[in-house]
Amino acid sequence: MLNRYHGDGDYTIKLDSIVLDKDLQYEKEPIAILDRDVRKLRTKETMSVKVQWKHRPVEEATWETERDMRDKYPQLFVDSSTT
């Protein structure tokens, strides 16, 4: 059963903190890697990283594959000791 949502304002995005393009969209930008983990699938292992995104709280960090993040955002891995 669905319950009524009673928001406390934590999920609202502050408009002055986001730069929108002409199509009123914005690009998510990672600011830090918080954690690393090896995800085991049936026959292979995949490296994952927990990414904190700009303008989002730490609680909303997401797990992404390390390979995809290295391809899109190599600057996050410049100071990293693991390759």
CATH number where 48 lies: 2.40.50
CA distance 62 to 48: 10
Residues spanned by the domain of 37: 28-77
Does residue 49 form part of some domain? Answer: yes
**pLDDT at residue number 25:** 76
Q: What is the pTM of this model?
A: 0.64
Closest CA to 51 of 12, 77, 13: 77
Statement: residue 83 has pLDDT above 70? no
Taking only the tens place, the pLDDT of each residue in 18-47 is 677 778 777 788 999 999 999 898 899 999
Does residue 63 form part of some domain? Answer: yes
Does residue 59 form part of some domain? Answer: yes
Does residue 65 form part of some domain? Answer: yes
**pLDDT at residue number 51:** 94
Residues whose CB is less than 8 angstroms from the CB of residue 76 and which lie 6 or more positions away in sequence, other chains included: 30, 32, 33, 51, 69, 70
Q: How many domains does the chain have?
A: 1
Residues whose CB is less than 8 angstroms from the CB of residue 32 and which lie 6 or more positions away in sequence, other chains included: 51, 52, 76
Mean pLDDT rounded to a whole number for the chain: 82
**pLDDT at residue number 23:** 83
Does residue 52 form part of some domain? Answer: yes
